[in-house]
A and B are shown apart, each in its own frame.
Chain A
């Protein structure tokens, strides 16, 4: 279980201080697929960086199985939005996926099996010895996903991973992530600004308020599995949920923000 316990994050000090996260408090159950949505600039990326141990909260803490996170834990992997900048261009697909496995003491054959299995599960077995820059954007993001899977995390954090690919690729990647999540039985925390995507993928949706960020609402998604790009999206329940989440975000945005009038995240924290 992943617990975000009254996390607050303030960038800078004194008069320049920017409160990116006001007070975030929620849990992610084992095996759950949680989508995080919210108005742009609401600190989604900051939250993910705090959860992954890349960033230390100003107060509060993130706990994984009752252990406070003070650096990137071995049971967690993170997939960034910018696939082209998170894959190592001097390594082949195989080397990219195998690189994080050095942390785990595996023998060569076992590591090789994990790498090939992960690459196979994202349908890139034919590209094992290619370089990332020889592949399309969608394929590059699949390599990044395979790298995360081979690492065998319990929790996969994804930061708007499909925001910079075209619509068709995006739909394919959404179905792929649902499939590998079942195959690997992992917990997923998926940040997105796309409401359709959050409803389609999630078991639960966390709607965040504008900055300083808190949890506005937690919406359970009661749609049948496995999901289907056509059938699921035609269900009345899908339409209802989409409208509900949309209104939830809009309502809060049009209301005057509490505290500071901060709309933008500080440089470097944005997605």
Chain B
């Protein structure tokens, strides 16, 4: 791609969303409809609400829950995934249970979690962690099974210790798959964070959106939805950035294999 075309592409990426916003602003200007307040009003509400009054009371708790849930899912998913990936017997034994658990629609577990763990932070972290576990777990297992036999044999021939094999051969070889699972889990974490806060909470962004709707504070509700969209976008962007760095070798190796 020539540099002129690239600038055009980047320009389109920036210009079209801005145009869409402008269109929204123009069409909603002077809107009398209760449910669709003018965009300018949503924006000023957004500034009043989220910059930075409710950051400490709602945004931070929400992100903490999500981060904790994800962290638990990564630790358990990668750990269990390595163990199950390396042992066909353990995999056979556990696969019906794993398949069953992951088939349960996650929100269905909420009543149970509230009952057993209560309505506090632990319940939300539990639900986020549990749901995010499965994409990471299943992808890690697949990644470990898929390690090239020649790589495994190379490690064996050179008498690489079990610990080194795990850390420096199997785990890196599985990272592309692990990241594929992680990508799914990041989206799920955001969804589950909102749902769990809507069902039972006293703070958090999900709680705020629902409470605003119940109090007929429609611009506030919209500002919360807007914030969630921005958060989701930023999370995916940040994730892609990390993935690019960590999996640089993978893209390079694939590109050279194809050429």
Contact = CB atoms under 8 A, between A and B. Distances in A.
A23 interface: no
A140 to B, nearest CB: 10
A53 B156 CA distance: 9
Nearest to B159: A103
A99 B157 contact: no
A100 B159 contact: yes
B100 interface: no
B150 A80 contact: yes
B249 A78 contact: no
A82 interface: yes
Nearest to B154: A86
B151 A84 contact: no
Given A102-B161, A131-B249, A54 B256 contact: no
B164 interface: yes
Interface string A87-106: 01111000000011011000
A240 interface: no
Given A90-B172, A99-B168, A52 B157 contact: yes
Contact of A102 (B153, B164, B250, B253): B164
23 contacts: A52-B157, A53-B157, A54-B157, A72-B159, A76-B157, A80-B153, A84-B257, A86-B150, A86-B153, A86-B154, A88-B154, A88-B168, A88-B169, A89-B252, A90-B173, A90-B175, A102-B164, A132-B253, A133-B253, A134-B252, A134-B256, A147-B158, A151-B158
B160 A103 contact: yes
B120 to A, nearest CB: 41
Contacts of B173: 90
A85 interface: yes
B155 to A, nearest CB: 8
Contacts of A131: 249, 252-253
B160 A74 contact: no
Contacts of A74: 159
Contacts, number: 72
Interface string B166-205: 0011001101000000000000000000000000000000
Nearest to A76: B157
Contacts of A82: 150
B252 A88 contact: no
Contacts of B252: 89, 131, 133-134
A191 interface: no
B99 interface: no
Interface string B222-256: 00000000000000000000000000011011011
Nearest to B149: A268
Interface of B: 148-151, 153-154, 156-161, 164, 168-169, 172-173, 175, 249-250, 252-253, 255-257
A74 B156 CA distance: 11
Given A82-B150, A88-B151, A88-B172, A72 B157 contact: yes
Nearest to A84: B257
A54 B156 contact: yes
A72 B150 contact: no
B249 A77 contact: no
B12 to A, nearest CB: 33
Interface of A: 52-54, 72, 74, 76-78, 80, 82, 84-86, 88-91, 99-100, 102-103, 131-134, 147, 151, 268
A102 B173 CA distance: 19
Contacts of B249: 89-90, 131, 133
Contacts of A78: 153-154, 157
A72 B151 contact: no
Contacts of B159: 72, 74, 100, 103
Which 10 pairs across A and B sit closest by C-beta, in order of nearness?
A: A100-B158, A89-B253, A85-B150, A133-B256, A133-B253, A90-B249, A90-B172, A103-B159, A78-B157, A86-B154
A199 B256 CA distance: 34
B151 A103 contact: no
Nearest to B255: A133
Contacts of B153: 54, 78, 80, 86
Given A53-B157, A91-B168, A134-B252, 18 more contacts: A54-B153, A77-B158, A78-B154, A80-B154, A85-B151, A86-B153, A88-B169, A89-B252, A99-B158, A99-B164, A99-B168, A100-B160, A102-B161, A102-B164, A131-B249, A133-B249, A133-B255, A151-B158
Given A88-B169, A89-B252, A72 B257 contact: no
A100 B156 CA distance: 10
A103 B256 contact: no
A56 to B, nearest CB: 13
A118 to B, nearest CB: 13
Contacts of B164: 99, 102
Contacts of A76: 157
